[in-house]
Chain A
Amino acid sequence: MRLSKAWIVASKDFKTFTKRRNILYSIVYFEVFISIGLPFLIRFIANKPSAVALVPAFMNAFSFWFVIGASLLPVGIASYSLVGEKVQKSLEPLLATPTTDEEILAGKSIAAFLPAIGANYVGAVIFAVLADLFTYRQLGYLCYPNWNIAVILFLLAPLACALSVGCNVLISSRVSDARSAQQLGALVVLPFGAVYVLSEIQVLTLTTSHLLIMAAVLAVVDAIVFTLVKATFKRDEILTKWK
């Protein structure tokens, strides 16, 4: 597989997304919510003397939003990237170029993965700086960086993002409009949302070891999903069986 070819495919998709404001706005709105909105919520809690003791637990749980973000943000891009090609009927001329199926798939995956992870990292830096700024006086120490957010950002978030991209490729092969693809693709967020809720209601504690176990499970799921994706993304299948 030639990465240069995959990069050409991805670059074209980046160019397309900059012209589709709704995709850009959905990323920006979400990141503003988690990187600025959540620290202000932490500040509100930290300013209540009775709730100060809960602040570290809240901050820990809120960090998990970056996993949710990593699984949610690629949905719009990945679904548009493939369903858009189907709707515009551009897959046939694309497949007729001297580009392999793997290169096209890698390009489409990079196009969905990089902006989502990039936006997530920018949001994480803003979130960590603001959260530390708002809680340092009450806690007396800087909560971030810590091992939990490191595992979240560098293991769980990329794995969740890859899972979302993979699932969206599978979904895109079965639906014929971007809206349906997005609605179905967004379901990938549910397990991560459930983990977040369980941690908020303190049924599950997000310790570093728990997060590492989650990452291991996610890596196995990703491997299964990408095996299915590779079997689905074959030119014969695309032109004759994709709806």
Chain B
Amino acid sequence: MNMIEVENLTKRFGEVTAVDGLTFDVAEGEVFGLLGPNGAGKTTTVRMLCCLISKTSGDARIAGYHTDKGADSLAIRKMIGLVPDNVGLYEELSAVENLDYYGKLYECPKGEREKNIAYLLKMMDLWEQRDQPVSNFSKGMKQKVAIARALVHDPKLLFFDEPTVNLDPESSRVVRDLILKLKKDGKTVFLNTHNLDEAQRICDRIGILRTKLLTVNTPEQLEKTIWGSKTVIQVEEINDRILAAIRKRKPQDLGVDGNKIILTLADPEVENPDLIRAIVSAGGRIQYVTPLNPGLEEAYMKVIEETE
């Protein structure tokens, strides 16, 4: 079952198009990442999906509810949790008071609310500081409270908008581990980020957004489809006979870097064994054969550059 279904979703602010014709879906229990540079429309997308701003055209449904219908939008907001890019906590209030306030707004019954707050604060290692004003907390601690706030009513779907921005590496790791725990617990997570490493580690699928959705795929497939399947063959010494043997197999592209041959074949898993045999027959002494993994960052940069 799809938790999020988006069809041709568009948002314009006057003459400016912030989001243009997005179409994608997110399955229940999936962690979906939206990658894109600043101003790409990531926050606008999340705001539309969370019923915070209206769409200009298109359609967006959360668990079958339409985001732009009054009664539906209340039902959606009841089942989602949002961690915005700014934590937006009440600094004078304690962690417990902040969470209790949101628990009430999310219509969470008293007993359940108290149980959830205790569980979340203990899980986030904030139980000892629960009665301190949030203004005394570090950025990482505040981010944890903001995540706890989004979880206080045990939502099915969570939206994270740049959750690790401005956090130190240790706090970022805590947040990432939390998202992975949510994934394990079967929650659906929609993550806005421009941290590629984070997206690669956490997300089941990634969409690259730059006003338009440029591509959607798993991180591995994204690298593969954007870069093709490259193989690196390191031989003791390269000579013309070896290169001629390779060219006979008609690679899509062939390059030489020192004693490394870098080539792209349509189906490397099928073609590589014969290719290696041909190189050995041509007198080549193979040292290593490895797939070239340029990483998500390279793939992302390539997609973004292609749109410029």
A residues apposed to B, CB below 8 Å: 5, 8-9, 12, 15-16, 19-20, 88-100, 235-236, 239-240
Contact = CB atoms under 8 A, between A and B. Distances in A.
A179 to B, nearest CB: 17
Given A235-B52, A236-B53, A240-B13, A93 B82 contact: yes
Main secondary structure on A side of the interface with B: helix
A96 B50 contact: yes
B52 to A, nearest CB: 5
B121 to A, nearest CB: 17
Nearest to B134: A88
A239 B80 CA distance: 19
Most buried by A among B54, B90, B133: B90
Interface string B28-46: 0000000000000000000
A98 B78 contact: yes
B78 A15 contact: no
Interface stretch (B101-109, B178-186, B283-291, B300-308): B101-109
Contact of B90 (A16, A92, A96, A100): A16
Contacts of B198: none
A93 B84 contact: yes
Contacts of A15: 93, 97
Given A16-B90, A93-B84, 16 more contacts: A19-B133, A88-B90, A91-B88, A92-B52, A92-B86, A92-B88, A93-B82, A96-B51, A96-B77, A96-B84, A97-B77, A98-B74, A99-B77, A235-B51, A239-B47, A240-B13
A239 B53 contact: yes
Contact of B88 (A5, A90, A235, A240): A90
Contacts of B104: 8
Contact of B92 (A20, A96, A99, A235): A20
Contacts of A20: 92
A23 B51 CA distance: 34
A12 B99 CA distance: 11
A236 B18 CA distance: 14
A240 B50 contact: no
B149 A93 contact: yes
B89 interface: yes
A19 B88 CA distance: 18
A90 B105 CA distance: 14
B90 A97 contact: no
A89 B47 contact: no
22 contacts: A8-B105, A15-B97, A19-B92, A19-B93, A88-B89, A88-B90, A89-B88, A92-B82, A93-B82, A96-B51, A96-B80, A96-B82, A97-B102, A98-B74, A98-B78, A98-B105, A98-B106, A100-B74, A239-B47, A239-B52, A239-B53, A240-B53
Nearest to B97: A15
